[in-house]
Structure 1
Amino acid sequence: MNLFTGSSSDEFFGGEVPPQVRRLLDEARNAPPRQMESLLWTAQICSPECLPVYYLLYKFHARLRQYPQAEQAALKGIATAGAQAGLAKDWREVVVSDADFAATGPARFWLFSLKALAFIYLRSSRHEASRELIAKLAELDPGHGLGGEVIAALLEGSNTTRPPT
């Protein structure tokens, strides 16, 4: 079963998974949360360049409302995907011409992970940081292929109205 979609599949979001990591992920599927967490972080240590592990980590921690751990995993995933895609280390410096963000690969994973980080910030009441990421998503994904506008709507509806200026 795919931990991303819940459907029967051997595919993982973010790319290929080395055999030793696949074994850890397979074991994590039916493990209790504490063991799952250990297995996922072990997979990250075993293969720090493997993007799907970061996705699974930030989804796992966000689902359990462990936002500091989810943020840590998302930031590591963003850094790793950014390096693989040849993007600037600071996401604020990335421009749309730096990569094909619509094509499957590290650049798209990087952008998707920015969206995840915006969600994590929203849920952990870091609204201004979430707004900054949403603005960058709109700039890099003007066709809304990743659904950043959903987080923007959640942000607007979360009683985070700014005081009048």
Structure 2
Amino acid sequence: MDLITGIESTDLFGGNVPSPVLQLIERTRGGSNDDVAAALWTAVLSYPRCLPPYYLLYKFHANRGELGEAQEVATKALAVAARQASLDSDWCAVQPGDTDFTIPGPGRFWLFTLKALAFISVRRGERAVALKLIAKLRRLDPIDCIGLDVVEALLAQSGSR
């Protein structure tokens, strides 16, 4: 299913994506990597409060192995989502109960993006950072709504190399 226009989008982002953003995203289908990057950056810069383009952009960079860029975009996405969810700008200071992370919207997106940062940290070999992020995620999401097991498995695998 299409993450931006399908059920997963509503479950994660909690709202509709503005039509101009959808048009920019549509331009990425079948385009070159440069075209995809340009369209997604345009969407992020033109609609800085719209969360889905951040997700697509950090995932695009991560999939290409551009982990520094992915981390930069995810960090920006985390800040935008924190403001929208009225969360502390320092992820370390966020506590269970600061928002309901189980309902669609900026809080859930924030949590999902924190998971992305943990994943990126594992892939970058930043084990201590990844462990800190995972511990925070386990505390904020004890029932594991976001599928943290995947990141933990990757961390365990990277530790056995």
Q: What is the TM-score when the length of structure 2 is the normalising length?
A: 0.91
Q: Distance in 1 between matches of 2:142 and 2:48?
A: 30
- Indicate the residue corresponding to 2:34 in structure 1: 34
Aligned residues of 1:49 and 1:80 also touching (Cα < 8 A): yes
Instruction: Tell me the CA shift for residue 16 of structure 1.
Output: 2.1
User: Which residues in structure 2 correspond to 1:7-86 (within 5 Å)?
Assistant: 9=6, 12=9, 13-14=12-13, 15-86=15-86
Structure 2: unaligned runs, 5 residues or longer:
none
After superposition, the C-alpha distances for 1:107-136 in whole angstroms (9 at most, x for unaligned) are: 000000000010011101111111110000
SS of the aligned residue for 1:157 comes to helix
Confirm or deny: 8 A CA contact 1:82 1:110 kept in the other structure.
yes
- State the alpha-carbon separation in 2 of the partners of residues 89 and 49 from structure 1: 15
Instruction: Give the C-alpha shift of residue 9 in structure 1.
Output: 4.4
Partner of residue 89, structure 2: 89
Percent same amino acid among aligned pairs?
Answer: 43
Contact 1:54 1:77 in 2 (8 A): yes
1:43-96 Cα distance to aligned partner (Å, 9 max, x none): 001100000011100110000000011001111110001100000000000001
Tell me which of the two structures has the higher relative contact order, counting C-alpha pairs closer than 8 angstroms and 6 or more residues apart.
Answer: 2
Q: Indicate the RMSD between aligned Cα atoms, in angstroms.
A: 1.9
| Partner SS, residue 130 of structure 2 | helix
TM-score (norm 1): 0.89
Give the Cα separation in 1 of the matches to 2:18 and 2:107.
20
Deviations 1:113-163 (A, max 9, x none): 0000100111011111111100000000000111112211221221269xx
Residue 138 of structure 1 pairs with residue 138 of structure 2: yes
Q: Bigger radius of gyration, 1 or 2?
A: 1
| Cα distance in 1, alignment partners of residues 107 and 52 from structure 2 | 13
Separation of aligned partners in 1, 2:7 and 2:127: 36
1:127 aligns with 2:127: yes
> Amino acid of the residue matched to residue 26 of structure 1?
E
Indicate the residue corresponding to 2:104 in structure 1: 104
Q: Residues 12-71 of structure 1, C-alpha deviation per residue, up to 9 Å, x if partnerless?
A: 452321121111111112211111001100000110000001110011000000001100
Runs of 5+ consecutive residues of structure 1 not aligned to the other structure: none
SS in 2 for 1:98: coil
Post-superposition shift, 1:11?
7.0
AA in 1 matched with 2:28:
A
How many equivalent residue pairs?
A: 158
SS at match of 1:70: helix
